[in-house]
Amino acid sequence: MTKPLKLLNIVGARPNLVKIAPLMREMKRHAEIEPVLVHTGQHYDEKLSDIFFRQMEIPAPDVNLEVGSGSHAAQTAEILRRVEPVLLDDKPDLVLVVGDVNSTIAVSLAAVKLGIPVAHVEAGLRSFDRTMPEEINRLLTDAIASYLFVTEEDAIEHLLKEGRPRESIYLVGNVMIDALRQFLPLAQKSGVGSELGLLDGNGWRKFAVLTLHRPSNVDSAEILAGLLRAINALAAVLPIIFPVHPRTQQRLADANISLHPQFRLVPPIGYLDFLCLLNSATLVLTDSGGIQEETTALGVPCLTLRDNTERPITISQGTNQLVGTHPDKIVAGAQAVLAGKGKTGRIPPFWDGRAAERIVEILLRVVPRGERRVAVT
Ligand code: UD1
């Protein structure tokens, strides 16, 4: 009998969980795959982690490294140190990482140094802004991964320019959109609309969703205050639902702004409620990467509060617009959407809910198994 393909999957932060859910589900459908799940513990809260495991039916992690928060260097170093013995013990045929967080690069680095090949899901995205920690994580992970799974054509170009071999790159679509398609029917049954008073006799009222957590937006009190002032002006027109990320929470007190009663700050929201809100929103304002893609898949207008995006397909084909961080531009962009001039867009190729299926089929075909090439140090 051929040996099973042992795949060690890594999650660390909230966006990773949404991406790993469809992959773990697909791996479980194949008896010839032995999936292992390692949580680095970069995010550890009920609201940033545990609720996602429950709602998305992600199996409990086989290992939790419990690294917690820290500076970039401290967090990355701690993951490197704690994951190495797990890799040595488990001897996987492949390590699969997703996205662009510190856990992604840290585990990839530990794995390749032990001779274990790495697959990177969501490879090749580039903002070309090297002040973003995620851009550094993306560049470095792609430089050392053996299998590069991309969501859009631009990513292929970026990887080729960086000298990655064409045969290591696979255009497979978007696993986050797999999750969206799977869970949208369930999300639509969420009671979050009535809980937040967003429904009236005719159904959903007009409202906007805001998320903000990029260090470049929230770590500067001045930029954060400018953003909040702009959105406060919009709150006079329609309710703004703002689930506050822990990083942002810490900075809000310093901003010291009195907010309009329709500017509603709420704790971080679980996957199903959040998907329900996104799907029903008139407008989404965000600095997240993933939400730009989710709004494109849902056909909901999105204003991205950044000067660049690593996901240009959401602009060229989807509903996304970059408005930057200048208050006037944000207000003008929102007014245009409210006047019915928001972007409509279409669904990018391969964002069809089958990305995980394609990835697993390729891994089964191309990854050598049973060699357990773990170097002895
Ligand atoms: C991380 C990722 C970012 C991703 C985001 C999604 C990196 C470099 N950044 O940023 O790409 O978009 O996650 O959320 O990997 N905290 C809690 N509870 C938790 C986790 C964190 O309260 O469960 C606090 C931490 O103490 C810290 C702050 O939140 O003060 C930020 O957390 P951190 O993991 O450092 O980065 P994020 O901003 O969440």
Ligand 1: atom nearest CA of 246 is 29
367: helix, strand or coil: coil
Ligand 1: atom nearest CA of 45 is 23
Single pTM value for the model? 0.96
Ligand 1: atom nearest CA of 15 is 6
Domain boundaries, the chain: 5-173+354-366, 185-341
Residue 349 banded pLDDT, cuts 50, 70, 90: very high
Give CATH superfamily name and number for 185-341.
Glycogen Phosphorylase B; (3.40.50.2000)
213 counts as catalytic? yes
pLDDT digits (tens, 9 = 90+) for 170-199: 999 999 999 999 999 999 999 999 999 999
pLDDT at 209: 98
pLDDT at 63: 98
The more confidently predicted of residues 273 and 3 is 273
**C-beta 133 within 6 A of ligand 1:** yes
**C-beta 247 within 6 A of ligand 1:** yes
Q: How many angstroms is it from 64 CA to the middle of ligand 1?
A: 17
Residue 1 banded pLDDT, cuts 50, 70, 90: low
**C-beta 48 within 6 A of ligand 1:** yes
Q: How many angstroms is it from 172 CA to the middle of ligand 1?
A: 28
Top-tier CATH class for 5-173+354-366: alpha beta
The residue from 39, 213, 245, 260 that is catalytic is: 213
Which of 11, 18, 19, 43 for a ligand 1 pocket mutation test, highest count of atoms within 8 Å of Cβ?
43
Ligand 1: atom nearest CA of 104 is 15
**Two domains, one topology: 5-173+354-366 and 185-341:** yes
Residue 255 banded pLDDT, cuts 50, 70, 90: confident
Cα–Cα distance, 123 to 137 (Å, whole number): 11
Taking the alpha carbons at both ends of the chain, their separation in whole angstroms is 31
DSSP state of 46: I
Q: How far is CA 376 from CA 81, 96, 132, 256, 334, in A?
A: 16, 21, 35, 55, 57
Strands (E), 172-317: 199-200, 203-204, 208-211, 240-243, 263-266, 283-286, 302-304
CB of 193 closer than 8 Å to CB of 139: no
> Average pLDDT over the chain, rounded to whole?
96
- Joined together, the tokens standing for residue 6 give 């042992």
Amino acid at 6: K
